[in-house]
Amino acid sequence: MAGAYNDRDGKIWMDGQLVDWRSANVHILTHALHYASSVFEGERCYDGKIFLGHEHSKRLLKSGELLDMQIPYTAEEIDAAKDAVLKANGWTNAYVRALAWRGAGEDMGVASKRNPVRLAVAAWEWGNYYGDAKMKGAKLDIAKWKRPSPETAPSQAKAAGLYMICTMSKHAAEAKGCSDAMMFDYRGYVAEATGANIFFVKDGEVHTPLPDCFLNGLTRQTVIGMLKDRQVKVHERHIMPEELETFQQCWLTGTAAEVTPVGQIGDYNFEVGALTREIATAYEKLVRE
């Protein structure tokens, strides 16, 4: 599948029914378009099965709750919608996007209690998020924007509004020839990339930022479990910027990123080492079991 995302053949699930791809539209006065009142999930289907699909559905509902937005479907109904989209489009390997938002209604100010909460599920065939970086290691810029305090935004929600600074940071990174950008948090600690969590290796042990002001990704949790099963010591902690020069390996995790090695962050270089490759290979196997 290629071409603009609004001009393709296929089906998208919207508010309980499958509609033609090109007809999956919303009104210009949709509340989410003006006030970022939307949450979403990104998932991958491997060989006909969505990896952690039910967990993603439950997290979507939790994100809605954190935005004071009650999504009018159960996790099981969301699961069924995702399966219906994959079946309607004939895909067994695809990226799946579930999105809930406040639609157009009687309110058009900041408050929007009278507006309906809507839900859609789309999917498309998508390869490596970082292209050939999965083999040679991604190159990351260091973003000027920082992840906000949890007193500023609901950091454990996968909310569209939290990605605004990610978009700007990734655009700046791509302008420098990088694949992505690493972000610090509001205190100056290492946080994550624009759409993926980050891991480092030092002397055979793994260090990863404590997710106390950014999303604790499902892929992140999966990889930590894999490392612990291998008796690899994992340190979830605050990481200072000056520590970057002490790490030997680095990788990113996320549904889109999967497990992607990192070769460079700013002026710091990392090897695509044995542990990085082992975890990347093991994850590829796990998602297809």
- Per-residue tokens: 261: 């090695």
Q: CATH 3.60.9.10: does it fit domain 133-286? A: no
| Alpha-carbon torsion angle 280, 285, 288, 289, nearest 10 | -140
**Domains of the chain, residue spans:** 11-124, 133-286
For the entire predicted model, the pTM comes to: 0.95
Q: What is the tens place of the pLDDT at every residue in 81-128? A: 999 999 999 999 999 999 999 999 999 999 999 999 999 999 999 887
Q: Which residues touch 261 (CB under 8 Å, ≥6 apart)?
A: 133, 134, 136, 137, 138, 249, 250, 251, 270, 272, 276, 277, 280
Maximum C-alpha span of the chain: 59
Q: Rounded to whole angstroms, what are the CA distances from 259 to 38, 137, 157, 179, 199?
A: 27, 11, 22, 14, 10
- Distance separating alpha carbons of residues 28 and 245, to the nearest angstrom: 48
Q: How confident is the model at residue 173 (pLDDT cuts 50, 70, 90)?
A: very high
- Distance separating alpha carbons of residues 17 and 1, to the nearest angstrom: 22
Say which CATH architecture domain 11-124 belongs to: 2-Layer Sandwich (3.30)
Q: What is the tens place of the pLDDT at every residue in 227-273? A: 999 999 999 999 999 999 999 999 999 999 999 999 999 999 999 99
Question: Smallest Cα–Cα separation from 197: which of 189, 187, 212, 208?
Answer: 208
- Evaluate if residue 1 carries a pLDDT over 70: no
| Cβ-contact 286, 164 below 8 angstroms | no
Give Rg (Cα) of the chain: 19
